[in-house]
C-alpha cells in the first residue's frame, strides 16, 4: 500500500466484501442465488435475480436501480449509501496504522450494520450501549480507550 492513496472501492468490490463477511458469519459460502431468493421471499415478489447479483458482484454490471441497492443494503444490514461511490480516506505509511485498521473495520459489513442501527437510537440509548461496550471490553481485559494510531489513546465517548 505504501504512501499512495488507495483507489475507492467499486460496487463489485463492496458487494464482494459483504458476501465474504456474510459467508463467514454463516459458516458456508453464500451464493448470489441464496441472496436473491431471500430478498425476493422477504419482499413477497421478484425484486432481483441471482444472475443479476452475480453480474454486480463480478463487475459485469455496475448501474443497479435504487430498488436493487436498497434491497441489497437491507439484506446485508448496511445503509444504501455504502454502495455509492465515495473515496476511501487516504491511508499512508506515515504512522497511521491505527487509522488504517479503523478504516478496515469500518468497511466490515458487521461494523457498518452496527453503526447504522446505533445512529437511529436516542442519545440516552447510545450512551447505554457505549457503557455496555466499555464493560465488555473491561471483562475481556481490553483498554477502555480507543487508540487513534498516532499519539495517546482517547477515551470512548
- Let me know whether 77 and 118 are in one domain: no
Q: Supply the pLDDT for residue 40.
A: 94
The values of phi and psi at residue 155, to 5°, are -65, 150
Structural domain includes residue 33 = yes
Which residue reads 458456508 in cell numbers? 28
Structural domain includes residue 26 = yes
Q: Supply the pLDDT for residue 111.
A: 66
What's the CATH number where 78 sits?
1.10.260.40
- Let me know whether 17 and 48 are in one domain: yes
Domain boundary among 61, 83, 105: 83
- Let me know whether 63 and 18 are in one domain: yes
Structural domain includes residue 3 = no
- Let me know whether 105 and 77 are in one domain: no
Q: Supply the pLDDT for residue 106.
A: 57
Q: Supply the pLDDT for residue 130.
A: 82
C-alpha angle 31-36-41 in degrees, rounded to nearest 5 = 130
* 78 and 18 Cβ atoms separated by less than 8 Å: yes
Structural domain includes residue 90 = no
Structural domain includes residue 24 = yes
Domain boundary among 83, 111, 142: 83
Domain boundary among 31, 49, 83: 83
Per-residue pLDDT tens digits of the chain, which is 157 residues long:
444 445 557 899 999 999 998 888 888 888 999 999 999 999 999 999 999 999 999 999 988 999 999 999 999 888 888 887 654 444 444 444 555 555 555 556 566 667 667 766 788 887 888 888 888 888 888 775 554 333 344 444 4
> What residues make up the domain containing 45?
11-83
Structural domain includes residue 143 = yes
When divided into structural domains, the chain yields a total of 2
- Let me know whether 115 and 144 are in one domain: yes
Structural domain includes residue 111 = yes
- Let me know whether 77 and 138 are in one domain: no
Beta bridge partners of 71: none
C-alpha angle 94-95-97 in degrees, rounded to nearest 5 = 115
- Let me know whether 78 and 33 are in one domain: yes
Residue 10, number of CB atoms within 10 A of its CB: 13
* 112 and 79 Cβ atoms separated by less than 8 Å: yes
Amino acid at each position: 500500500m505504501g504512501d499512495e492513496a488507495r483507489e475507492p472501492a467499486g460496487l463489485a468490490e463492496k458487494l464482494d466484501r459483504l458476501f465474504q463477511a456474510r459467508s463467514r458469519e454463516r459458516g458456508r459460502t453464500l451464493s448470489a442465488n441464496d441472496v436473491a431468493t431471500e430478498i425476493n421471499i422477504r419482499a413477497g415478489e421478484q425484486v432481483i435475480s441471482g444472475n443479476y447479483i452475480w453480474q454486480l458482484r463480478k463487475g459485469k454490471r455496475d448501474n443497479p436501480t435504487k430498488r436493487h441497492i436498497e434491497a441489497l443494503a437491507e439484506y446485508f444490514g448496511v445503509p444504501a449509501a455504502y454502495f455509492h461511490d465515495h473515496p476511501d480516506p487516504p491511508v499512508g505509511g506515515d504512522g497511521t496504522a491505527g487509522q488504517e485498521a479503523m478504516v478496515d473495520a469500518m468497511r466490515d459489513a458487521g461494523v457498518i450494520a452496527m453503526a447504522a442501527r446505533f445512529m437511529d437510537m436516542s442519545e440516552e440509548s447510545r450512551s447505554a450501549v457505549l457503557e455496555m461496550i466499555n464493560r465488555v471490553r473491561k471483562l475481556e481485559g481490553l483498554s477502555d480507550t480507543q487508540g487513534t494510531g498516532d499519539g495517546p489513546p482517547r477515551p470512548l465517548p
